[in-house]
Amino acid sequence: EKDGHDWFMRKEIFEQPRAVADSLLGRRTAEGHLQLDEMRLSDQELRDVDKIIIIACGTSFYAGLVAKYAIEHWCRIPVEVELASEFRYRDPILDYSTLVVAISQSGETADTLQAIRHARAQKSKVLAICNTNGSTIPRESDAVIYTHAGPEIGVASTKGFLTQLVACYLLALYLAQVKGTRFGDEISQVVRQLEAMPSHIESVLASADDVYALAREHVGTRSVLFLGRHAGYPVALEGALKLKELAYLHAEGFAAGELKHGPIALVEQGLPVLCVVPPAGRDQLRDKMVSGIQEVRARGARTICLVEEGDDAITPYADVVLRLPKVPVLLQPLVAVVPLQLFACELATVMGHDVDQPRNLAKSVTVE
Ligand code: F6R
């Protein structure tokens, strides 16, 4: 049942190329148009959308943070991303022109469900991005995009997260298509780039042994920091969450630009800092990240850098380099998060923890 793997989580990490491919299947017509079958909102309803609020918890919330970059860039619609547990309590400004997007792998998360009910009571349309057919969240939403990860058994979300990202990209591209933004001509190009992602994810998985060896060096580490920028920032947050959940370590993700506003005080000799380096095409972003890495290294951090192939600007400041395939910046989370999943899974395994059933956690959180 685990296909020869020790944990469901590890099996699910290795299923990600297939899960991403399945989530893309049948979304493109012969003419190159996107279609979202279960999208029960009309084109007119979507054209009326002038604000999007994404609500979710945990890993699904981080998928929402990535979606904000994609939707705002491709559709020019303002997006807010909010933790479902906070959403209702701030009296959010909602009306019929606000589209609320609820992301939930299980479809049963109580905080997210309550937020949906609140939004619909205020006349907003709710679109669910969900992995579980017939679960409560899609049933209580106006529309749904199903992810096709297949059942996720490991408590820590992996393929659920990647397929949520795919659904978010598809939603962003679909909105751009319906709204006819200036970005329209590029939609089919991005769809093709998405279709190439399963093989890129395969190539990251092919170097799993390097990540495992690195993880084993970190037994006994008490704290790990993760840095990212732009779409790499949610990846840093997700890498830290995986390590907390599975290895019970103190781990924190930061936007690299925030370092000098406080977190750099945490850096001391030998502290591992995992850095998600943006693709070289986005030079301003990449160069700023390089200087962040220099700063932490100058203070004694051990820098472990996820860098795309061929980018050597970072090498002088990296204690360890893990290579990522060359992909567009907005799609980079699909490959960059994979080594972080492998790292957490392996470190927790060698520490003797139950990776599939971490202490104190449940797969679906049906209490608020
Ligand atoms: C992290 C994890 C949790 C869930 C969160 C939301 O690995 O699994 O943080 O992402 O509880 O769950 P769903 O997506 O089912 O609403």
Pocket probe for ligand 1: among 365, 367, 368, the residue whose CB has the most ligand atoms within 8 Å is 365
* pLDDT mean values, one per 10 residues, the chain (368 residues): 93 98 91 84 94 98 98 95 93 92 97 96 96 96 96 95 98 93 80 96 98 97 96 98 97 95 93 95 86 95 96 93 96 98 98 92 85
pLDDT value of position 90: 86
48/84 Cα distance (integer angstroms): 24
List the residue whose alpha carbon is closest to atom 5 of ligand 1: 58
Cβ of residue 112 lying under 6 Å from some atom of ligand 1: yes
Separation of first and last alpha carbons in the chain: 32
DSSP reduced 3-state for 106 = coil
d(CA 58, ligand 1 centre) in Å:
5
**What separation in Å is there between the alpha carbon of 165 and the centre of ligand 1?**
14
Amino acid 362: pLDDT: 84
Question: Which is the closest atom of ligand 1 to the Cα of 56?
Answer: 16
State the DSSP H helix or E strand holding residue 201, giving kind and residue range, or none if neither.
helix 197-205
pLDDT in tens, 120-177: 999 999 999 999 999 999 999 999 999 999 999 999 999 999 999 999 999 999 999 9
Which residue puts its alpha carbon closest to atom 13 of ligand 1? 104
146 CA distance to ligand 1 middle (Å): 16
User: Is the CB of residue 229 less than 8 Å from the CB of residue 257?
Assistant: yes
- ipTM, two decimals: 0.98
Residue 50 CA to ligand 1 centre (angstroms):
28
| Runs of H (alpha helix) within 248-332 | 283-298
pLDDT number for residue 188: 86
Mutation pick for ligand 1 pocket among 12, 13, 60, 341 (CB with most ligand atoms within 8 Å): 60
Would the CB of 158 count as within 6 Å of ligand 1? no
Strands 302-308 and 320-324: parallel
pLDDT number for residue 182: 72
Q: What's the pLDDT at 186?
A: 84
What is the pLDDT at residue 326?
96
The dihedral built from the CA positions of residue 55, 58, 63 and 65, taken in this order, carries a sign that is positive
What is the spatial distance between Cα 218 and Cα 220, in angstroms, rounded to a whole number? 6
The response to whether residue 245 sits with its C-beta less than 6 Å from ligand 1 reads yes
Active centre residues (catalytic): 363
